[in-house]
């Protein structure tokens, strides 16, 4: 009985010293106070489930996000800018069988389909022509401007 008591005292002492060592080392590692270190603490959970983005309404103070908002507010890009950024890769070279900009013979039957069809194919894709020329952030108006730019140069 006495032996068992001694053994358990030794065990308790070992546990206490181990936990104080652990506490000391986590204090050095973790920048958070004791109640916030657990992965189940409110802080840790809030950090894990925080949204990846937030909406910044015009006129609101949103820190660095405001700069991006201003850029969007500067209006749609020109047809030429969209063309150079997103369409020229295929349409300047004829890559993937794309009708080359300026190739009137290749464009004539396409232009004959009408603007609405051309725009529909540019936005939704046609065979090897990817939807929006893969410019997913382009607005429909920007795609329309790019199509007009290309058609103008190919008539
Ligand atoms: C990955 C290469 C690629 C990119 C990038 C690309 N296109 Fe195309 N595009 C094609 C190909 C290939 C065709 C021919 C498709 C067919 O007729 O089978 C085509 C055809 C078109 C046509 C004619 C559609 C028709 O009805 O005949 C338009 C308009 C067009 N592209 C607009 C654009 C615009 C605008 C962009 C940029 C925003 C763009 N394309 C970017 C490959 C591309």
**pLDDT at position 20, please?**
52
CA 150 to ligand 1 center in whole angstroms: 10
Q: Which CATH class is domain 79-153?
A: mainly alpha
**pLDDT at position 9, please?**
62
CA 52 to ligand 1 center in whole angstroms: 33
Computed from CA positions of residues 77, 81, 87, 89, in that sequence, does the dihedral angle turn out positive or negative? negative
**pLDDT at position 50, please?**
82
CA 75 to ligand 1 center in whole angstroms: 24
CA 93 to ligand 1 center in whole angstroms: 12
- Our answer on whether the CB atom of 130 is closer than 6 Å to any ligand 1 atom is yes
The residues spanned by each domain of the chain are 33-74, 79-153
> Residues of the chain whose pLDDT is less than 50?
65-70
pTM, 2 dp: 0.64
Q: For residue 128, give the ligand 1 atom closest to its CA.
A: 12
**pLDDT at position 16, please?**
57
Residue found by looking up tokens 């206490």 in the block = 16
CA 80 to ligand 1 center in whole angstroms: 15
- Our answer on whether the CB atom of 94 is closer than 6 Å to any ligand 1 atom is no
- Our answer on whether the CB atom of 113 is closer than 6 Å to any ligand 1 atom is yes
Q: Kindly state the tokens that stand for 12.
A: 């308790």
**pLDDT at position 56, please?**
76
Q: What is the 3-state secondary structure (H, E, C) of the chain?
A: CHHHHHHHHHHHHHHHHHHHHHHHHHHHHCCCCHHHCCCCCHHHHHHHHCCCCCCCCCCCCCCCHHHHHHHHHCCCCCHHHHHHHHHHHHHCCCHHHCCCCCCHHHHHHHHCCCHHHHHHHHHHCECCECHHHHCCCCCHHHHHHHHHHHHHHCC
- Our answer on whether the CB atom of 22 is closer than 6 Å to any ligand 1 atom is no
Report how far apart, in Å, the C-alpha atoms of 29 and of each of 15, 36, 72, 93 are: 21, 13, 42, 56
Encode pLDDT of 48-74 as tens digits: 888 777 777 777 777 654 444 445 556
Q: Kindly state the tokens that stand for 119.
A: 């725009």
């Amino acid at each position: 009985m006495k032996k068992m008591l001694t053994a358990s005292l030794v065990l308790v002492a070992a546990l206490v010293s181990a936990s104080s060592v652990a506490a000391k080392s986590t204090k050095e590692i973790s920048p958070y106070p004791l109640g916030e270190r657990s992965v189940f603490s409110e802080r840790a959970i809030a950090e894990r489930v925080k949204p990846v983005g937030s909406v910044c309404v015009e006129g609101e103070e949103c820190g660095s996000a405001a700069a991006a908002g201003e850029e969007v507010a500067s209006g749609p890009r020109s047809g030429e800018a969209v063309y150079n950024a997103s369409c020229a890769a295929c349409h300047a070279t004829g890559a993937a069988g794309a009708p080359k900009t300026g190739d009137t013979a290749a464009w004539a039957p396409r232009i004959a389909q009408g603007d609405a069809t051309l725009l529909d194919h540019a936005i939704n894709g046609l065979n090897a022509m990817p939807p929006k020329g893969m410019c997913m952030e382009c607005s429909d108006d920007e795609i329309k401007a790019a199509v007009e730019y290309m058609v103008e140069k190919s008539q």
